[in-house]
Amino acid sequence: MHFRRLASLAMGGWLAGSLLLIAITSQNVRVVERLVRTPSKTAAESMVRMQESDVRLLMNYHAEDLNRWAYGIWEVTQMVLGLAVLLSLFLSAGGKRYTMILCVIMISTVIFQHWFVTPQMGKLAQVATFVKSDQVSVERDRLVSMQSAYTTTEAVKIGLGVLLAWGLLKRGRRRRETEID
């Protein structure tokens, strides 16, 4: 069986899913401003009853809540993909140890995000989202710090994933070249 190919497929899905989720969640937050400025006719009729700042707060809260939900689901999916990659690397013939180490670090990063960062962001967001922008808020500052930590760990994980994918591709190319000789 071609376990290296399975590892490559799962790794590609992992990286593609991560990049797709980053694009979707960043767009969720950006679309709020557009919807508040140019709402549909039906939405505008409903929004007349509320102040624009309150509409923006509620829509931002909803967008952020959807993002946290999507990240939670994706984190579980990443753990499954990570274990598939790790198992495939372990079972592949001539597997390099550094690829397995990179995979373990990536899985550890996802576990850190899922059990430590994401729950904290959820708790902080319930309070921080509804604080007016001109008010000082320790919770909002902490939420921004947690979001920065999440973004940083996501960037590290994607970088490690690219290195792991490169290692899988390089090893496959080298094997084909020796078979041709």
- Supply the pLDDT for residue 177: 54
- Supply the pLDDT for residue 181: 46
How far out from the chain centre does Cα 153 lie?
Answer: 9
Distances in Å between the Cα of 35 and the Cα atoms of 38, 60, 88, 151 are 5, 11, 45, 25
* Residue 162, helix vs strand vs coil: helix
Range 161-164 contact pairs with CB under 8 angstroms and sequence separation of 24 or more: 161/11, 161/14, 161/15, 161/18, 161/102, 161/106, 162/15, 163/102, 164/11, 164/85, 164/99, 164/102, 164/103, 164/106
- Supply the pLDDT for residue 176: 54
Burial class (CB in 10 A: 0-12, 13-18, 19+), 74: buried
145-174 tens-digit pLDDT: 998 999 999 999 999 999 999 988 886 555
pLDDT in tens, the chain (181 residues): 588 889 999 999 999 999 999 999 889 888 888 888 888 888 888 888 888 878 888 888 889 889 989 999 999 999 999 999 999 999 887 667 889 999 999 999 999 999 999 999 989 988 887 877 778 889 889 988 998 999 999 999 999 999 999 988 886 555 555 555 4
pTM: 0.82
Residues 91 and 100: their CA atoms lie apart, in Å, by: 11
CB-CB contact of 86 with 99 (8 Å): no
51-72 tens-digit pLDDT: 887 888 888 888 988 998 999 9
Q: How many CA atoms lie within 13 A of 140 on its CB side?
A: 11
Domain spans of the chain, in order of start: 3-180
Distances in Å between the Cα of 88 and the Cα atoms of 10, 50, 91, 92, 93 are 9, 55, 5, 6, 10
Distances in Å between the Cα of 43 and the Cα atoms of 35, 80, 107 are 9, 40, 42
What crossing angle do the helices spanning 52-91 and 3-37 adopt, rounded to 10°? Answer: 180
Closest residue by Cα to residue 90 from 1, 181, 173, 3: 3
